[in-house]
Amino acid sequence: QTKVINSHIYGMNFANLKPKQIKMNKIISICLMSFFVLTACAQEEKPNTETSRKPNIEKTEAEWKAQLTELEYEVLREEGTEKPFTGEYVDWKKEGVFVCKACGNPLFSSDTKFKSGTGWPSFFDHLGDSSVAEVADNSYGWNRTEVECWRCGSHLGHVFEDGPDPTGLRYCINSVSLEFQEK
Ligand code: FE
Protein backbone atom coordinates (compact mmCIF):
# COMPACT_ATOMS: atom_id res chain seq x y z
CA GLN A 1 0.00 0.00 0.00
CA THR A 2 2.81 2.44 0.95
CA LYS A 3 4.67 1.75 -2.31
CA VAL A 4 1.54 2.54 -4.34
CA ILE A 5 1.05 5.86 -2.54
CA ASN A 6 4.73 6.86 -2.95
CA SER A 7 4.80 6.04 -6.65
CA HIS A 8 1.68 8.18 -7.04
CA ILE A 9 3.23 11.15 -5.20
CA TYR A 10 6.56 11.19 -7.02
CA GLY A 11 5.08 10.19 -10.38
CA MET A 12 7.48 7.28 -10.60
CA ASN A 13 6.89 3.57 -10.72
CA PHE A 14 8.57 1.96 -7.69
CA ALA A 15 6.68 -1.33 -8.05
CA ASN A 16 9.49 -3.23 -9.79
CA LEU A 17 12.38 -1.74 -7.81
CA LYS A 18 14.24 -3.25 -4.85
CA PRO A 19 13.94 -1.41 -1.46
CA LYS A 20 17.49 0.04 -1.76
CA GLN A 21 16.79 1.45 -5.24
CA ILE A 22 13.49 2.92 -4.02
CA LYS A 23 15.29 4.74 -1.19
CA MET A 24 17.87 6.14 -3.63
CA ASN A 25 15.17 7.26 -6.06
CA LYS A 26 13.32 9.02 -3.24
CA ILE A 27 16.48 10.91 -2.21
CA ILE A 28 17.12 11.99 -5.81
CA SER A 29 13.49 13.15 -6.17
CA ILE A 30 13.66 15.21 -2.98
CA CYS A 31 16.99 16.78 -4.01
CA LEU A 32 15.58 17.70 -7.43
CA MET A 33 12.44 19.21 -5.91
CA SER A 34 14.47 21.26 -3.41
CA PHE A 35 16.66 22.53 -6.25
CA PHE A 36 13.66 23.68 -8.30
CA VAL A 37 12.03 25.38 -5.30
CA LEU A 38 15.24 27.25 -4.41
CA THR A 39 15.80 28.32 -8.02
CA ALA A 40 12.21 29.59 -8.28
CA CYS A 41 12.61 31.65 -5.06
CA ALA A 42 15.89 33.18 -6.25
CA GLN A 43 14.29 34.24 -9.54
CA GLU A 44 11.32 35.81 -7.76
CA GLU A 45 13.53 38.04 -5.60
CA LYS A 46 15.70 39.30 -8.44
CA PRO A 47 13.52 42.14 -9.88
CA ASN A 48 13.13 43.83 -6.47
CA THR A 49 16.83 43.96 -5.69
CA GLU A 50 18.12 44.95 -9.13
CA THR A 51 15.69 47.62 -10.22
CA SER A 52 13.46 50.09 -8.36
CA ARG A 53 10.41 48.71 -6.61
CA LYS A 54 7.68 47.43 -8.88
CA PRO A 55 4.29 49.09 -8.17
CA ASN A 56 1.40 46.93 -6.97
CA ILE A 57 -0.99 48.69 -9.31
CA GLU A 58 0.00 48.71 -12.96
CA LYS A 59 -2.09 50.52 -15.55
CA THR A 60 -1.33 51.55 -19.11
CA GLU A 61 -0.56 55.23 -19.66
CA ALA A 62 -3.82 55.45 -21.65
CA GLU A 63 -5.73 54.22 -18.58
CA TRP A 64 -4.01 56.79 -16.33
CA LYS A 65 -4.70 59.55 -18.88
CA ALA A 66 -8.40 58.70 -18.94
CA GLN A 67 -8.60 58.77 -15.14
CA LEU A 68 -6.60 61.95 -14.38
CA THR A 69 -6.82 65.60 -15.40
CA GLU A 70 -4.10 66.97 -17.68
CA LEU A 71 -2.16 68.55 -14.78
CA GLU A 72 -2.57 65.50 -12.53
CA TYR A 73 -1.23 63.29 -15.33
CA GLU A 74 1.72 65.59 -15.97
CA VAL A 75 2.73 65.58 -12.29
CA LEU A 76 1.82 62.03 -11.22
CA ARG A 77 2.84 60.12 -14.35
CA GLU A 78 5.48 62.36 -15.95
CA GLU A 79 7.17 63.61 -12.77
CA GLY A 80 6.12 67.19 -13.34
CA THR A 81 5.88 69.92 -10.68
CA GLU A 82 2.91 72.22 -10.13
CA LYS A 83 3.58 75.96 -9.85
CA PRO A 84 4.25 76.98 -6.20
CA PHE A 85 1.38 78.57 -4.21
CA THR A 86 -1.19 77.30 -6.73
CA GLY A 87 -2.19 74.02 -5.07
CA GLU A 88 -5.40 73.48 -3.14
CA TYR A 89 -3.66 72.03 -0.06
CA VAL A 90 -0.79 74.51 0.46
CA ASP A 91 -2.55 76.32 3.35
CA TRP A 92 -4.98 73.49 4.14
CA LYS A 93 -5.62 73.19 7.89
CA LYS A 94 -8.34 70.55 8.26
CA GLU A 95 -7.64 67.36 10.19
CA GLY A 96 -7.54 64.16 8.21
CA VAL A 97 -5.50 62.04 5.85
CA PHE A 98 -4.04 62.84 2.43
CA VAL A 99 -4.32 59.93 0.01
CA CYS A 100 -2.81 59.35 -3.44
CA LYS A 101 -4.86 61.10 -6.14
CA ALA A 102 -4.14 58.25 -8.55
CA CYS A 103 -4.94 55.20 -6.41
CA GLY A 104 -6.28 56.29 -2.99
CA ASN A 105 -3.35 54.89 -0.97
CA PRO A 106 -3.10 56.72 2.42
CA LEU A 107 0.10 58.82 2.37
CA PHE A 108 0.30 61.65 4.93
CA SER A 109 -1.57 62.71 8.07
CA SER A 110 -2.55 66.32 8.72
CA ASP A 111 -0.76 65.83 12.09
CA THR A 112 2.60 65.93 10.27
CA LYS A 113 1.78 68.88 7.96
CA PHE A 114 3.74 72.07 8.62
CA LYS A 115 4.08 75.54 7.11
CA SER A 116 7.25 75.49 5.02
CA GLY A 117 6.76 78.68 3.02
CA THR A 118 7.80 76.88 -0.16
CA GLY A 119 4.41 77.00 -1.83
CA TRP A 120 3.89 73.23 -1.74
CA PRO A 121 2.18 71.14 0.95
CA SER A 122 4.92 69.95 3.32
CA PHE A 123 5.03 67.10 5.81
CA PHE A 124 7.73 65.96 8.24
CA ASP A 125 6.71 62.30 7.98
CA HIS A 126 4.62 59.84 5.98
CA LEU A 127 2.04 57.38 7.27
CA GLY A 128 4.08 54.17 7.23
CA ASP A 129 5.88 51.44 5.31
CA SER A 130 3.30 51.01 2.56
CA SER A 131 2.60 54.71 1.99
CA VAL A 132 5.57 56.07 0.02
CA ALA A 133 8.70 54.81 -1.74
CA GLU A 134 11.84 56.95 -1.92
CA VAL A 135 13.88 56.77 -5.12
CA ALA A 136 17.17 58.47 -6.08
CA ASP A 137 16.53 61.20 -8.67
CA ASN A 138 19.56 62.59 -10.51
CA SER A 139 17.65 64.38 -13.27
CA TYR A 140 18.83 67.91 -14.20
CA GLY A 141 22.12 67.14 -12.44
CA TRP A 142 20.46 67.45 -9.02
CA ASN A 143 20.99 64.89 -6.34
CA ARG A 144 17.47 64.61 -4.97
CA THR A 145 15.26 61.91 -3.50
CA GLU A 146 11.99 61.43 -5.30
CA VAL A 147 8.88 60.42 -3.37
CA GLU A 148 6.51 57.99 -5.09
CA CYS A 149 3.27 56.37 -4.03
CA TRP A 150 4.23 52.96 -2.69
CA ARG A 151 1.19 51.29 -4.23
CA CYS A 152 0.92 52.73 -7.75
CA GLY A 153 4.38 54.24 -8.30
CA SER A 154 3.00 57.68 -9.17
CA HIS A 155 5.20 60.72 -8.57
CA LEU A 156 4.32 62.76 -5.48
CA GLY A 157 7.27 65.11 -4.92
CA HIS A 158 10.67 65.07 -3.22
CA VAL A 159 12.03 64.67 0.30
CA PHE A 160 14.73 66.96 1.74
CA GLU A 161 16.70 66.85 4.98
CA ASP A 162 15.90 70.39 6.12
CA GLY A 163 12.58 69.68 7.84
CA PRO A 164 11.50 70.32 11.44
CA ASP A 165 11.69 67.98 14.43
CA PRO A 166 11.15 65.15 15.18
CA THR A 167 12.35 63.73 11.83
CA GLY A 168 14.28 66.63 10.29
CA LEU A 169 12.66 65.68 6.98
CA ARG A 170 10.60 67.79 4.60
CA TYR A 171 8.32 65.91 2.24
CA CYS A 172 7.64 68.52 -0.43
CA ILE A 173 4.53 67.23 -2.18
CA ASN A 174 2.51 68.44 -5.14
CA SER A 175 -1.03 69.35 -4.17
CA VAL A 176 -2.45 67.74 -7.32
CA SER A 177 -0.92 64.40 -6.33
CA LEU A 178 -3.06 64.40 -3.19
CA GLU A 179 -6.68 64.02 -2.21
CA PHE A 180 -7.89 64.95 1.27
CA GLN A 181 -10.10 62.74 3.41
CA GLU A 182 -11.53 64.44 6.48
CA LYS A 183 -11.29 62.66 9.86
FE1 FE B 1 -0.93 55.72 -5.68
pLDDT digits (tens, 9 = 90+) for 90-143: 999 999 999 999 999 999 999 999 999 999 999 999 999 899 999 999 888 888
- What's the burial of 81, exposed, middle or buried (CB within 10 Å: 0-12/13-18/19+)? middle
User: What is the model's pLDDT at position 94?
Assistant: 97
User: What is the model's pLDDT at position 47?
Assistant: 29
Task: Kindly report the pTM of this predicted structure.
Answer: 0.71
User: Residue 10 is which amino acid?
Assistant: Y
Residues of the chain with pLDDT under 70: 1-53
96-100 and 178-182 beta bridge pairing? antiparallel
Q: How far is CA 129 from CA 105, 121, 139, in A?
A: 12, 21, 26
How many angstroms does the Cα of residue 177 sit away from the middle of ligand 1?
A: 9
User: What is the model's pLDDT at position 13?
Assistant: 47
User: What is the model's pLDDT at position 58?
Assistant: 85
Q: Which of 100, 149, 152, 172 is catalytic?
A: 172
How many angstroms does the Cα of residue 129 sit away from the middle of ligand 1?
A: 14
User: What is the model's pLDDT at position 25?
Assistant: 67
Tell me how crowded residue 173 is: count the other CB atoms within 10 A of its CB: 27
Annotated catalytic, 172? yes
Residues 6+ apart with CB under 8 A from 117: none
How many angstroms does the Cα of residue 174 sit away from the middle of ligand 1?
A: 13
